[in-house]
Amino acid sequence: MGQKVQRVEDDRLVRGAGRYVDDVAPDALHAAVLRSPHAHARIISIDVDAVLDVEGVHAVWTYEDLEGAMAEPLPLLIPHPTLTHGRTQYALAKDEVNHVGEAIAFVVADDRYVAEDALARIVVDYEPLPAVVGIESARSGDRLVHDDVPGNVAASMEQSNGDAPAAIAGAPHRLSLDLHIERSACMPMEGRGVVARWDPDQGRLQVWSSTQTSTGVRAAVAAKLGLDLGQVDVITPDVGGGFGVKIVHPWPEELLVPLAAQRLGRPVKFTEDRREHFISAAHERSQVHHVEVGFDDDGRVLGLDVRFWHDHGAYTPYGLIVPIITSTQLLGPYKPGAYRVRFDSLYTNTVIVTPYRGAGRPQGCFVMERTMDAIAAELGKDRADVRAANFIQPDEFPYEHGLIFQDGRDLTYDSGDYPAMLDKIKELVDWDGFESFRAAKAAEGKRVGLGLACYVEGTGVGPYEGAHINIETSGKVKVATGLTSQGQGHQTAFAQIVADELGVRFENVEITTGDTRRMPYAVGTFASRAAVMSGSAIHLAAKRTKEKALRIAAEALEADIDDLEIVDGVVSVKGTDTSIPLGTVAVLSNPLRYAFDEASKAATQFSVGDPGKPPVAEDDEPGLEGKDFYSPPRSTFASGMHAVIVETDAETAEIRILKYAVVHDCGHLINPMIVEGQIHGGVAQGVGGALYERMAYDESGQLLNASFMDFLMPYVTEVPTSIEIDHLETPSPLNPLGIKGAGEAGVIPGSAAIAAAIEDAERAVLPGFGITAMPISPSELFALRAAHTPRDAQESK
């Protein structure tokens, strides 16, 4: 723990020997999906006749070919009492399509080329319907996405603590703000993919999916195909990035591919292409917010009232997780005197919205931090001081917000030290020296600005994860945990935990993730939960394994357990030469007395077990194994602060990041190298979300930039040349390792901090200039400058 250990995953991956889902089953048939070209249309007819005589085509299905549970809508994974009008799509569209890209027909052919040839021959007769695109259009309710959902509202929710409107009305200062964040998406480099093989000899289905939850996919496939859970194995191989989108399940293809494998008796593969990923996976982030805030002369927030509208796209398979997170995590490290939040979750004829790294927090952070900056500007105070005046103090933990979090539990922060963190970030970015830096740059004719944003992130949400550890007779330690990996280095970090607890060599620990054959009980990798949940479970399972090893070793060595220690996989009596390797202990743990290898021969010198009792005691099991589950009462809350310095070009309005500083607190660090890698990646996505990436829909619901050519993910040339990181370690009291999640953190305050920095740079020249929507492009900054007349500047003074 705590060491910058190099990753065990890498040797394989840098040799090109990784196994991603498209790499397995080279003998598979290939599937392709016909997708709606319309955002909203009724399907009058589908004619597949022309496909049937295409050589190499094995199947072509439409909704009419689906039966039983497969013909029902896909599951609504996370229902909520306020989600009164939840709707999900069918695996293949029935009568109506609600976004460009919705699956209509499914073809299986010899290869993907032929499958796409077949798609081109399918004739669909559509009756186009008016499309609802964007929050304005959805909110007006003039047009409906679903005929039976009035006003396009799937859910309305309200939470409050205290009487915010009254507190605002009575406050010495009041402000209102309208704030907007646009759509973006996870965009992992590997799209979705699934392979299935039906084994008629065993009556078993084997599924590989590029997913963030193998157990979820397994349950969904079994339910939809009418199989027993025990007939379905789901294996998550190497996954080329997830960032949230791959937690959604089952995708239509995750059901259609296994069904095809079963019906055709051949392995079948679906590998999503990039355009498909844009129009048929998931997006996030689009929300419009209205803030009312009342505060005192020190900038202390007395009342905060937030109303927002969340665009969830055409369907709600993932429920209300994103807006619930915004509504609760918006509070960040602050404690407003009273708080009320209300949101509507709205249908639009666009791709579904599900969590993308940060999951509603970037929006919440943007809203809260823009509000803090507005308060500071109104009072003429230092922006950091206003934040400090609102912080929850270190002696106030656990801190109860009086709200319900996304996991259905109380929103209670477990630990943190926000004042100390603010000191660190101010030092890291040289907050106090900035005005002289600004003056020096101004003398060169350059505009620079400084922005700061703070956040708190609930991580490690339950309900549980488990781990199973088995020490083989070779001394190798085989560990299985059920959640999946998408590049986070779990095999390394988890092996570090096991090596530490068990006293074995790191190299002898082998971690398996996301394979339901090895660990059928698991939830998945999302919500920055893997290290906290599986890390803790693995720690607990290692403890159990160690206890058993010591018990058997004590008997074998005729020693007291308390006198034993395990170092490098060998149990010894402290301070003596008396010892026994763990591999031998493993042999002894299994009373199968065949000397099939050297280890079992060596074990015959030891005698364990009471000859008067059964070889396996009543409360024991054969094997040197340990299994345990970790299920915390509630989430653990990581936190962080970002500060950024930007330069905005006076002529061209180009925006350049000069400095990016991060202070991060995820409790104890398992592997600082991996944590910093997560922060780097998050910051780059934050920069992408702030300055480059957006989903550009036209009024008819066509996505205009469904390619990497026009959806502008940052290259190396668009990210800061260095990201300065400092850590604070406030351990979590909720888990045995004192850790908190780290996966999503880096992305959360990006838009908030960069907006603040750009605004600060512009205000030096254009007093009162404000940024209320992100992302922002040079073209938009140019337009904002043009719209910011001297008269506006006068008024805002």
Comparison of 506 and 782: residue with beta carbon closer to another protein: 782
Sheet of 579-581: strands edge to edge? 564-567, 570-573, 579-581
Contact between 599 and another protein (CB under 8 A)? no
Identity of the residue numbered 719: V
Scanning 83-91, 145-153, 267-275, 348-356 for contacts with another protein by CB under 8 A, the matching segment is 267-275
Residues 21-40 that bind another protein (CB under 8 A): 22-23, 26
Contact between 777 and another protein (CB under 8 A)? yes
C-beta of 637: minimal distance to another protein in Å? 24
Comparison of 336 and 535: residue with beta carbon closer to another protein: 535
Q: What is the number of other CB atoms lying within 10 angstroms of the CB of residue 792?
A: 15
Separation of alpha carbons 330 and 323, rounded Å: 10
C-beta of 536: minimal distance to another protein in Å? 22
C-beta of 701: minimal distance to another protein in Å? 15
Residues 54-73 that bind another protein (CB under 8 A): 55-56
Scanning 322-330, 364-372, 712-720, 727-735 for contacts with another protein by CB under 8 A, the matching segment is 712-720
Total residues interacting with another protein, rule: CB under 8 A: 80
C-beta of 755: minimal distance to another protein in Å? 18
C-beta of 635: minimal distance to another protein in Å? 24
Dihedrals phi, psi of 796, to nearest 5 degrees: -75, -15
Scanning 228-236, 332-340, 751-759, 775-783 for contacts with another protein by CB under 8 A, the matching segment is 775-783
Scanning 125-133, 239-247, 319-327, 395-403 for contacts with another protein by CB under 8 A, the matching segment is 239-247
Separation of alpha carbons 763 and 185, rounded Å: 31
Residues 722-761 that bind another protein (CB under 8 A): 722-723, 746
295, 375 contact by CB (below 8 A): yes
Residues 428-487 that bind another protein (CB under 8 A): 486-487
Scanning 12-20, 142-150, 326-334, 582-590 for contacts with another protein by CB under 8 A, the matching segment is 12-20
Scanning 89-97, 232-240, 550-558, 768-776 for contacts with another protein by CB under 8 A, the matching segment is 232-240
Contact between 606 and another protein (CB under 8 A)? no
Cα atoms in the 13 Å half-sphere on the side-chain side of 553 = 28
Comparison of 96 and 276: residue with beta carbon closer to another protein: 276
Q: What is the number of other CB atoms lying within 10 angstroms of the CB of residue 680?
A: 18
Binding test (CB under 8 A) with another protein, winner from 189, 229, 439, 440: 189
Comparison of 224 and 490: residue with beta carbon closer to another protein: 490
Contact between 715 and another protein (CB under 8 A)? yes
Q: What are the CA-CA distances from residue 270 to residues 22, 226, 644, 748 (Å)?
A: 8, 21, 42, 33
Contact between 635 and another protein (CB under 8 A)? no
359, 284 contact by CB (below 8 A): yes
Separation of alpha carbons 349 and 223, rounded Å: 28
C-beta of 105: minimal distance to another protein in Å? 17
Supply the DSSP symbol for 260: H
**C-alpha of 721 from chain center:** 25
Q: How many residues are present in the chain?
A: 797
Contact between 506 and another protein (CB under 8 A)? no
Residues 127-186 that bind another protein (CB under 8 A): none
Residues 84-123 that bind another protein (CB under 8 A): 111-113, 116-117, 120
Is residue 690 packed enough to be buried (19+ CB in 10 Å), middle (13-18) or exposed (0-12)?
buried
Separation of alpha carbons 390 and 454, rounded Å: 12
User: In sequence order, what are the residues at sequence separation of 6 or more whose Cβ sits closer than 8 angstroms to the Cβ of residue 403?
Assistant: 159, 161, 327, 328, 339, 410, 411
User: In sequence order, what are the residues at sequence separation of 6 or more whose Cβ sits closer than 8 angstroms to the Cβ of residue 25?
Assistant: 195, 197, 208, 267, 269
Which parts of 78-132 are beta strand (E)? 96-97, 103-109, 123-128
Q: Largest Cα–Cα distance in the chain? A: 97
C-beta of 654: minimal distance to another protein in Å? 7
Contact between 789 and another protein (CB under 8 A)? no
Binding test (CB under 8 A) with another protein, winner from 151, 608, 782, 792: 782
Comparison of 22 and 414: residue with beta carbon closer to another protein: 22
Torsion of CA 239, 244, 246, 249, to 10 degrees: 150
Contact between 712 and another protein (CB under 8 A)? yes
**DSSP of 198-213, one letter per residue?**
EETTTTEEEEEE--S-
63, 102 contact by CB (below 8 A): no
C-beta of 335: minimal distance to another protein in Å? 32
292, 174 contact by CB (below 8 A): yes
Separation of alpha carbons 514 and 711, rounded Å: 31
Scanning 238-246, 343-351, 421-429, 760-768 for contacts with another protein by CB under 8 A, the matching segment is 238-246
Identity of the residue numbered 596: F
Binding test (CB under 8 A) with another protein, winner from 45, 202, 605, 717: 717
Residues 486-505 that bind another protein (CB under 8 A): 486-489
Binding test (CB under 8 A) with another protein, winner from 241, 419, 623, 768: 241
Scanning 555-563, 647-655, 749-757, 761-769 for contacts with another protein by CB under 8 A, the matching segment is 647-655
Scanning 159-167, 557-565, 571-579, 714-722 for contacts with another protein by CB under 8 A, the matching segment is 714-722
Separation of alpha carbons 24 and 366, rounded Å: 42
Per DSSP, the three-state class of 715 is coil
Contact between 767 and another protein (CB under 8 A)? no
Please choose, from the candidates 721, 711, 712, 751, the residue with its C-alpha nearest in 3D space to the C-alpha of residue 289: 751
Q: What is the number of other CB atoms lying within 10 angstroms of the CB of residue 372?
A: 27
| Residues paired with residue 448 on neighbouring β-strands, in sequence order | 647
Beta strand 477-481 pairing with 509-513: parallel
Torsion of CA 493, 497, 502, 504, to 10 degrees: 30
C-beta of 185: minimal distance to another protein in Å? 11
Which residue bears the tokens 């040797």? 11
Separation of alpha carbons 415 and 433, rounded Å: 31
Contact between 238 and another protein (CB under 8 A)? yes
Comparison of 440 and 704: residue with beta carbon closer to another protein: 704
Scanning 81-89, 444-452, 575-583, 721-729 for contacts with another protein by CB under 8 A, the matching segment is 721-729
Please say whether the dihedral angle defined by the alpha carbons of residues 69, 132, 693 and 356, taken in this order, is positive or negative: negative
Comparison of 6 and 84: residue with beta carbon closer to another protein: 6
Residues 206-225 that bind another protein (CB under 8 A): none
Contact between 18 and another protein (CB under 8 A)? yes
Contact between 765 and another protein (CB under 8 A)? no
Which parts of 162-220 are beta strand (E)? 173-181, 193-199, 204-209
Binding test (CB under 8 A) with another protein, winner from 696, 789, 790, 794: 696
Residues 285-344 that bind another protein (CB under 8 A): none
Contact between 652 and another protein (CB under 8 A)? yes
310, 343 contact by CB (below 8 A): yes
Which string of x and - marks every residue 656-685 that binds another protein (by CB under 8 A)? -----------------xx-xx--xxxxxx
Scanning 9-17, 299-307, 568-576, 789-797 for contacts with another protein by CB under 8 A, the matching segment is 9-17
Beta strand 465-471 pairing with 625-630: antiparallel
Comparison of 176 and 707: residue with beta carbon closer to another protein: 707
C-beta of 706: minimal distance to another protein in Å? 10
